Amino acid sequence: MDPRPYLTVAVLLFLLGAAGFLVRRNMLVLFLAVELMLNAAGLALITFARMHLSMDGEALFFIMLALAAAESAVGLAMVIAIYRNRHTLNADKLDDLRG
Amino acid sequence: MHDALFWLCASLAVGGAALAMLRREPLKCALSLVTSFVALAGLYFQLKSPFPAVLQILLYAGAIMVLIVFVIMFLNDESAAPGKGDLSRGGLVFAVLLLVPLGWVLIRAIWNADWPMMRAAPEDFGTVPAMGEKLFTTWLYPFEVLSLLLLAAMAGAVLLAKKRLD
């Protein structure tokens, strides 16, 4: 079995997520792009774990999954708080700190 | 047989991700992303990791995406709707300049590197008992820190999403 196709899929997913994060402006879609990049990292972890027949990669995947759950809970709460105060989800409109 | 399954899951994962980044309405993006995540679980099965695959479906395609879809429907927002500046022109230029070279370097590195071929996995690789043993011996400390992190995230989410921040 060859690890290269799996790693290529992981790279493609990461690039798609990064491109979406840079191009889209809707905060909820930015959020989905971050989740996509996390999943690309997860696929790479599982592939390397399988390649070296070491379960440490899968333990790391487990930790990444819990991190993603914590991140999405806090991130979505922040999106809700921002929407409540500013009535917009467009990330370009939230530029108060720009000089 | 194995190849056909791999190509099916890989194309579903990449195609779903591409659709998730291209479609206009956030809800449709989220549903495309669920397809991608379920296909990823299929790839984990093929990598002899049944426990991560099940976690991927339960936690990612299930819990996390339900939370996101819930928030998307809750906020049903017009300000970032199609045609109202959902795309950033500068971001597009930056993305092309940054990601095309990055992708080229990564893909070339992957296909030129001398990877060890995958050996046959032992019978219990990636199963629940083996994962549990690993998590509660080698990874015990990170595991406990993780529970603290989840508690903090839960408290933080409640505090942030409350009606008044005073």
Q: What is the per-residue pLDDT across A56-67, written as a single tens digit (0 to 9) for each?
A: 999 999 999 999
Q: How long a stretch of residues is chain A? A: 99
Q: In B, residues 37-76, which contact A (CB 8 Å cutoff)? A: 37, 40, 43-44, 47-49, 51-52, 55-56, 59-60, 63-64, 67-68, 71-72, 74-75
Tell me the sheet residues that pair with A26.
Answer: A90
Q: Do B29 and A29 touch (CB under 8 A)?
A: yes
Q: Do B95 and A92 touch (CB under 8 A)?
A: no
pLDDT at residue A37 is higher than 60? yes
Q: In B, residues 89-108, which contact A (CB 8 Å cutoff)? A: 91-92, 94-95, 98-99, 102-103, 106-107
- Position B59: which residue type? L
User: What is the spatial distance between Cα B66 and Cα B74, in angstroms, rounded to a whole number?
Assistant: 12
Q: Do A6 and B18 touch (CB under 8 A)?
A: no
Q: What is the pLDDT along chain B (166 residues), one digit of tens a residue?
A: 678 999 999 999 999 999 999 998 899 999 999 999 999 999 999 998 999 999 999 999 999 999 999 999 888 766 555 556 678 888 899 999 999 999 999 999 999 988 887 788 888 888 899 999 999 999 999 999 999 999 999 999 999 888 765 5
Residue B96 corresponds to which tokens in the numbers above? 């092309």
Which residues on chain B are in Cβ contact (under 8 Å) with A41?
A: none
User: What is the spatial distance between Cα B43 and Cα B156, in angstroms, rounded to a whole number?
Assistant: 34
Write phi, then psi, for B106 (nearest 5 degrees).
Answer: -65, -45
User: What is the spatial distance between Cα A63 and Cα B49, in angstroms, rounded to a whole number?
Assistant: 15
Tell me the sheet residues that pair with B134.
Answer: none
Q: Do B86 and A29 touch (CB under 8 A)?
A: yes
Write phi, then psi, for B81 (nearest 5 degrees).
Answer: -70, 165
pLDDT at residue A8 is higher than 90? yes
Average pLDDT over residues A74-92: 88
Write phi, then psi, for A90 (nearest 5 degrees).
Answer: -80, 120
**In sequence order, which ranges of chain B are alpha helices (DSSP H)?**
2-22, 26-46, 50-55, 65-75, 89-112, 128-136, 140-161
Neighbours of B104 (CB within 10 A): 10
- Position B88: which residue type? S
Give first-to-last CA distance, chain B, whole Å. Answer: 60
With contact defined as beta carbons under 8 Å apart, do A55 and B131 qualify? Answer: yes
Q: Is B140 helix (H, G, I), strand (E, B) or coil?
A: helix
How many Cβ contacts (< 8 angstroms) between chains A and B?
A: 249
CA distance, residue A44 to nearest chain B CA (Å): 10
Q: What is the pLDDT of residue B84?
A: 60
Residue B12, chain A, CB below 8 Å: the answer is no
Sorting pLDDT into bands at 50, 70 and 90, what band is A30?
very high
Q: Do B160 and A58 touch (CB under 8 A)?
A: no
Residue A54, chain B, CB below 8 Å: the answer is no
